[in-house]
Structure 1
Amino acid sequence: MTASAGRPTLLVIAKEPVPGRVKTRLTPPYTPQEAAALAKASLCDTLDAVLRVPARRRVLVLDGEPGPWLPRGFDVVPQVSGGLDERITGAFACCDDGPALLVGMDTPQLTGELLAGIGPDGHDAWFGPAADGGFWALGLADPSRAGSVVRGVPMSTDRTGAIQRRRLVDAGLSVRDLPLLRDVDTAADAASVAGLCPPGSRFAAMLTSLAEVAR
């Protein structure tokens, strides 16, 4: 048995941090350029956290083009077209056999410890609920089942997470629940999440920098 046996493929689904295309709900009070800078910082924190988790493979599922912000250690694949349910399904389709876990770019407070044990812990699925009613993480021991349990789930509603988790349970999967996290969508979210970020967080530092400029 190899050392990577049971380790998950880790997927980060993200948008290229381009002004006007990311974190538009932060504008106002932030400018499109500032919102993009916060998005970039959040994405970089997320990628760093994923790098700290033992994995068989790490994949950035990207809408856009990679830039100098992308660290070594990630494969890059483009997002498929369609709604978020289709794009999540497409992300899992790039995985081979073995467990896979997908996270977004909106939780810079993520740490490697939050993802510890995923893969070899014996569950069929892993689910990370978000405070806004969505979810920040979704994992499957068998990634080929993604289409049947994700496709058709209504996204971006305050019931998305509950519906997605119910789909996992109804499919007969044993689900490990991960901690509740808050996504960064609004300025209030950004302020709250920055206080939860680990030391060295780019996101927290960027938010502090923008606040100082605004004084």
Structure 2
Amino acid sequence: MSVQVLVLAKTPVPGRVKTRLCPPCTPGQAAVVAAAALADTVAAVTAAPATRRCLVVDGDHPAPPGWHRTAQRGVTLGERLVHAYADTRLDGVGSLLIGMDTPQISAGLLADAVQRLDEGDAVLGLADDGGWWALGLRNPSHGKALWRVPMSTPDTGAPTLAALRARGLRVAALPTLHDVDTYADAQAVAALCPAGSRFAYAVSELARPVAAA
């Protein structure tokens, strides 16, 4: 089947992104790390097979070349996720949604997610902090299942899976990944990034001043 990839992102503005990196990072440093994470994510998605690629963004960050762009809607994260699926829906096209907190992802990992979605109703990639990093839906209208799922909690993944199964969906599991919340997370994920990673470079550049602060 055809699948589009959605990247839910925030414009990297100091004080509005990656605030849990502060301290030890300054808001400006955290924004640099966030921008690098988004750049690596965009690069991986651009290299992966997809019918369409769409940046679902909070703020004025422009769409990458060849991408579509739509603004986030809603107050809570759950509302923004539901609207992301609804506002980008295409007839006969599945939607794979990821965030910008897993810059270690590769085009191959995303291609595998697309293939798994072709074989079932949904795919879910859990994060090792209890949340999730990817959710693919063959029918994006099932994004409504997220309305009542508590987000940004240590166990968001479990009720997300339960909500999908309550709709009778067959859910295939994607690999569990480490996402970036804290500075320690940033260091751990940077070590997992491939050569040439903008995120890994940004974290390495910050390591010395942060450690000396």
What is the TM-score of this pair, normalised by structure 2? 0.93
Partner of 1:96: 90
Q: How many equivalent pairs are there?
A: 207
Superposed counterparts of 1:16-165, under 5 Å: 16-67=11-62, 70-93=63-86, 94-97=88-91, 98-117=93-112, 118=114, 121-147=118-144, 149-165=145-161
1:13 to 1, 8, 19: 8
Judge conservation of contact 1:9–1:95 (CA < 8 Å) in 2. Answer: no
Letter in 1 for 2:5: L
- Secondary structure at 1:58 match in 2: strand
Judge conservation of contact 1:41–1:202 (CA < 8 Å) in 2. Answer: yes
Judge conservation of contact 1:62–1:76 (CA < 8 Å) in 2. Answer: yes
Letter in 1 for 2:194: P
Aligned mates of 1:141, 1:180 — CA distance in 2: 20
- Secondary structure at 1:179 match in 2: strand
Alignment pair present for 1:190 and 2:186: yes
What is the CA distance between 1:121 and its match in structure 2? 2.9
What is the TM-score of this pair, normalised by structure 1? 0.92
What is the CA distance between 1:192 and its match in structure 2? 0.5
What is the CA distance between 1:198 and its match in structure 2? 1.2
If each structure's strand is expressed as a fraction of its own residues, which one has the higher value?
2
**What residue ranges of structure 1 are gaps of 5+ in the alignment?**
1-5
Aligned mates of 2:185, 2:67 — CA distance in 1: 28
RMSD (Å), alpha carbons? 1.3
Partner of 1:3: none
Deviates more, 1:39-48 or 1:118-127: 118-127
